[in-house]
Structure 1
Amino acid sequence: MKILLVEDEAHIAKALVVNFQAQGYEVEWAATGEEALAAWRSTPCQLIVLDVMLPGIDGFEVARRVRREDANVPILMLTALAADEDRIAGLECGVDDYLVKPFVLKELLLRVAALLRRAQWMPPPATVFSFGQAEIHPATLEAVVRGKTHVLTRIECDLMRHFAAHPDRLISREELLSSVWGYEADTATRTVDTFVMRVRKIVEPEPAKPRYLRSVRGQGYRYHPAGK
């Protein structure tokens, strides 16, 4: 398994390279966005660990360019930007998850392992399914909503597929982390909430007043296919 690590701070990068290699991964390190894109295009990798704040092309733009050519390679973004709008910006670029700096090394290693496992057992594209007023096309990673086509990430598609398979049932964040991301249920993260915000922006007529994907305070979410 090969990881492309994109990090401009040498002391952080060297420490991560040592720890990734100790887990048995092959690692290629790029210090700039330009180096990252060149490395990614020249040698296949199974995961990209991507810092946001880079000299030249930033991490957001690197993720956008990768996603234009590859919808499946997992991208884990490392960011010092903790605001919701910054997390949403990362998701809109196509990343699979993010980890806010400073982070605990063990947490990073667990997420890396889970994303790599998920990439290995990723099921083949399923048939088209409905999600609220949206028509979801897993084979092309597209959502057609009221005549407009939106490009999805693999995680967004799988998240909607999980909700669609369990209509009108309370689904906890822990269940989603386990079933969609492959994480341990006790993982401390706002990943699920941030992805739900992104999905609502795509499928809900009024994302601030969701009809289909509703929050159940302190417990999780419930998907209402009829929007009532």
Structure 2
Amino acid sequence: MNPKILLVEDDADFGMILKQYLELSDFEVIWFQNPEDVLEIIETQFDFQIGILDVMMPNIDGFSLAKHLLKKQANFPILFLTAKNQKIDRLTGLKLGADDYISKPCDPEELVLRIQNILKRSTFTAIQQTEIKIGSYLLNTEKLQLEHPKGKHKLTLKENELLLFLLNHNHQLLKREVILENLWENTDYFSGRSLDVFISRLRKYFADDDSIKIMSIRGVGFELDFPE
């Protein structure tokens, strides 16, 4: 079965072009021009593998729509389309838990590659059914959940992927470029800012155990210390 994409793009011409190209690339595409229609359908149907959302839309912008989608499925992969290169757009999306972003007008081939990479990570996470003890925490990679006696944190796919990568390199000094090349496949400024956002979020999740440390080494990367 072909992966099913939720495409939300209010520009009729651009939306049609994307839909046709993605269908030629063996995706099933459900396209909405009006984000309010999406809110109606997800109440009874949520069988998409990934969402591609335009940021600038009338009535409901892409960020607001993403919040609704993530309430329905906390680990739902989202890729934002933005016509602007402003940092505020990209950082807002990353803080929401977005997996990627791409600026319009975008290269359709690049878009397909990014979608494929996100879906690969999603599939990899979905097939794992292990529980990993991290200090006083328990990471459930099947549920994408970090559990602690004081509470639980639902992880996004990217958070889970980053945490597993860090665990696999415990007690090591990891260069920023190594993490970016492996998980973001890009070492540009915005990818670096994305990494910082996710590192900051993981630190907050582990705030209830002082034995867990993700230390920043200025100009180099991160030194990791997870109890074993």
TM-score (norm 2): 0.76
Structure 2 unaligned segments of length 5 or more: list them: 208-212
Q: How far apart, CA to CA, are the structure 1 residues paired with 2:46 and 2:170?
A: 42
- Tell me the residue number matched to 1:7: 9
User: Where in structure 2 are the equivalents of 1:52-71 lying within 5 Å?
Assistant: 52-71=55-74
RMSD of the TM alignment (CA)? 3.3
Stretch moving more, 161-170 or 135-144: 135-144
Matched to 1:124, the amino acid is Q
Contact 1:136–1:157, Cα closer than 8 Å, also in 2:
no
Matched to 1:197, the amino acid is V
Q: Does residue 1:17 correspond to 2:19, yes or no?
A: yes
1:74–1:87 distance in 2 versus 1, CA, 3 Å: same
Corresponding residue pairs, total: 215
- Percent identical pairs in the alignment equals 29
- Tell me the residue number matched to 2:104: 101
Q: How far apart, CA to CA, are the structure 1 residues paired with 2:49 and 2:217?
A: 34
Q: Does residue 1:126 correspond to 2:150, yes or no?
A: no
Contact 1:4–1:47, Cα closer than 8 Å, also in 2:
yes
1:100–1:195 distance in 2 versus 1, CA, 3 Å: farther
Contact 2:171–2:224, Cα closer than 8 Å, also in 1:
yes
TM-score (norm 1): 0.76
1:124-165 CA-partner distances (Å, limit 9, x unpaired): 25324438xx84633554557995755431211220221122
User: Where in structure 2 are the equivalents of 1:140-219 lying within 5 Å?
Assistant: 140-143=143-146, 150-172=153-175, 175-176=178-179, 179-180=182-183, 185=185, 190-203=190-203, 212-214=214-216, 217=219
Q: How far apart, CA to CA, are the structure 2 residues paired with 1:213 and 1:144?
A: 22
Q: Which of 97, 107, 110 is matched with 2:113 structurally?
A: 110
Matched to 2:29, the amino acid is V
1:156-207 CA-partner distances (Å, limit 9, x unpaired): 12202211220343445565456546xxx468673353133233145168xx
Matched to 1:25, the amino acid is F
Contact 2:4–2:28, Cα closer than 8 Å, also in 1:
yes
Structure 1 unaligned segments of length 5 or more: list them: 206-210
Q: How far apart, CA to CA, are the structure 2 residues paired with 1:150 and 1:222?
A: 22
1:111–1:167 distance in 2 versus 1, CA, 3 Å: same
Matched to 1:203, the amino acid is R
Contact 2:122–2:157, Cα closer than 8 Å, also in 1:
no
Q: How far apart, CA to CA, are the structure 1 residues paired with 2:216 and 2:187?
A: 22
Q: How far apart, CA to CA, are the structure 2 residues paired with 1:215 and 1:125?
A: 33
User: Where in structure 2 are the equivalents of 1:77-92 lying within 5 Å?
Assistant: 77-92=80-95
1:225–1:170 distance in 2 versus 1, CA, 3 Å: closer
- Tell me the residue number matched to 2:139: 137
Q: How far apart, CA to CA, are the structure 2 residues paired with 1:90 and 1:78?
A: 10
Q: The residue matched to 2:131 in structure 1 has which SS? A: coil
Instruction: Give the superposition deviation at 1:74.
Output: 1.6
1:153–1:75 distance in 2 versus 1, CA, 3 Å: same
Contact 2:145–2:153, Cα closer than 8 Å, also in 1:
yes
Contact 1:47–1:116, Cα closer than 8 Å, also in 2:
yes
